[in-house]
Amino acid sequence: MALHKDQSPPRGKNLLPVPVPEPDPILTTERLLLRRLTLNDTGFIIRLLNSPGWIQFIGDRQVRTTEEAEHYLLNGPLKSYATLGYGLSLVAIKETLQPIGICGLLKRDGLDDVDIGFAFLPETQGQGYAWEMVNAVIQHSRQQWQVGRVLAIVLPANTRSIHLLRKAGFVFDRKIQFNTNGEELLLFKNE
């Protein structure tokens, strides 16, 4: 059946859904790839944002449903891509495309420069994935956007992230109160 240019294709139970292609990678490393998050990533976002480490060191964002995950993505990473051209992006195993974390640059009110954010599923920690991607993102940001100084903020109790930041060349700058709740954070910089 030929379609007139103003007609829509037929719809019905026997038609297969059209697959939505994943975005092209922003960068790749030996083991990983970084790509933009999409609304197709809601299941992964629910899992990551409710992992024990996220809740303990980043905070409970109250993201439990697909709709709440879509809201988080639309008002966080996707908004950042639209306004700044960068933001938190999905980290996946290159061979399998299995999502394992997020990493990227953020521009937060109250900080003079961009800062790097990262979080990984607990079962992938201790394998060097975060260090590999943090280094790749910093190198990419310097080449792509001529970023000079990169900051990082972390809770004092988050010793794993502090160790990773130091290993990636960050140095402690000072203690800051970043949130309105008066929570003290450590500010690191990488120049």
Report the CATH number that the domain containing residue 115 is assigned in CATH.
3.40.630.30
Residue 6: inside a domain: no
Report the number of distinct structural domains present in the chain: 1
Distance, CA of 45 to CA of 51 (rounded, Å): 10
Residue 14: inside a domain: no
* Predicted pLDDT at 108: 92
Q: Which two tokens stand for residue 144?
A: 């792509």
Q: In the 8-state DSSP scheme, what is residue 65? A: S
Residue 186: inside a domain: yes
pLDDT tens across 93-135, in order? Answer: 999 999 999 999 999 988 999 999 999 999 999 999 999 999 9
pLDDT over 50 at 15, yes or no: no
Residue 18: inside a domain: no
* Predicted pLDDT at 66: 97
Which residues are registered as beta bridge partners of 104? 117
Residue 79: inside a domain: yes
Mean pLDDT lowest for which of 5-14, 137-146, 151-160? Answer: 5-14
* Predicted pLDDT at 145: 84
Q: What percent of the chain has pLDDT over 90?
A: 80
State the pTM of this model.
0.86
Distance, CA of 43 to CA of 28 (rounded, Å): 23
Distance, CA of 34 to CA of 5 (rounded, Å): 38
* Predicted pLDDT at 179: 73
Residue 70 structural domain: 25-190
Residue 3: inside a domain: no
Which residues are registered as beta bridge partners of 188? 152, 172
